Amino acid sequence: MQQQLTRQTDGRNNRPDDSLYIHRLTPGDLDRVRDHFLRLSPKSRRLRFGRPVSDEFLERYAEALFEAVSIVYGAEIDGVIRGVTEMRGDTTSWSRFAEAAVSVEDDYQDRGIGGALLKRLVQAAQNRGVSQLYMVCLRENHKMKHLAQKNEAILDYCVDEVEGRITDLHPSFASLFSEWFDEASDYVTSLMTPARK
């Protein structure tokens, strides 16, 4: 089932918001993911990666994203990826622990996109036997801490970082069916969508 979210108005400019399509990304989406990372503002880059990062760093990061054991979801609006969430396992397989991260472009924040992305990722984690999903963010990243708390994460504070741990993840019939249905719907949608340049 493709996840569609709509919002009547955007409080910052009072215009109707576009529909949001969340789906799993593949290596064929590499250019679009790279472009998403490059559109992040300096502040959003620092909050996402924990430090200021260059365009070259983001290009290398995007390329490595699909080479690792990972699952990547994108939030697409009008054919453009505006948010990305990712989960990484060990170098060759999934283990009991995995790391998660979320990025949403500045003009699309505070619309529920990060929460919708993380929801899909948590489901994917539990279906792969990951019992603990963790996220590390800067202490000042209130939006990420809020997302973690909405998912019942345990927050551990360090000097300048916070680690959120979503624990007790177990696959269920509902989670397995939901992911299967989402993936099948995404596939059918991709067949009916014109090829992107």
pLDDT higher than 90, residue 11: no
Write out the chain in H/E/C secondary structure: CCEEECCCCCCCCCCCCCCEEEEECCHHHHHHHHHHHHHCCHHHHHHHHCCCCCHHHHHHHHHHHCCCCEEEEEEEECCEEEEEEEEECCCCCCCCEEEEEEEECHHHCCCCHHHHHHHHHHHHHHHCCCCEEEEEEECCCHHHHHHHHHCCCEEEECCCEEEEEEECCCCCHHHHHHHHHHHHHHHHHHHHCCCCC
Say what the pLDDT of residue 191 is. Answer: 67
Distance (Å, whole) CA 192 – CA 197: 15
> What angle do helix axes 113-127 and 173-192 make, rounded to 10 degrees?
120
93's CB contacts (< 8 A; 6+ apart) are 69
Q: Over the stretch 38-96, which tens digit does the pLDDT of each residue have?
A: 999 999 999 999 999 999 999 999 999 988 788 999 999 999 999 999 998 766 667 78
User: Which of 8-17, 88-97, 130-139, 167-176 has the highest average model confidence (pLDDT)?
Assistant: 130-139
> What's the mean pLDDT in 154-170?
81
Q: Do 103 and 36 touch, CB atoms closer than 8 A?
A: yes
Residues 6+ apart with CB under 8 A from 4: 19, 20, 21
Picking from 100-104, 111-115, 192-196, which range would have the lowest pLDDT averaged per residue? Answer: 192-196
Which is higher by pLDDT, 40 or 151? 40
Confidence of residue 19 (pLDDT cuts 50, 70, 90): confident
Closest CA to 95 of 169, 9, 184: 169
- Given this model, what pLDDT does residue 110 score? 92
pLDDT bin (cut points 50, 70, 90) of residue 127 is confident
What mean pLDDT comes out for the span 124-132?
Answer: 85
Q: What is the structure's pLDDT at 180?
A: 67
CB 50 within 8 A of CB 138: yes
Average pLDDT score over residue span 24-44 = 96
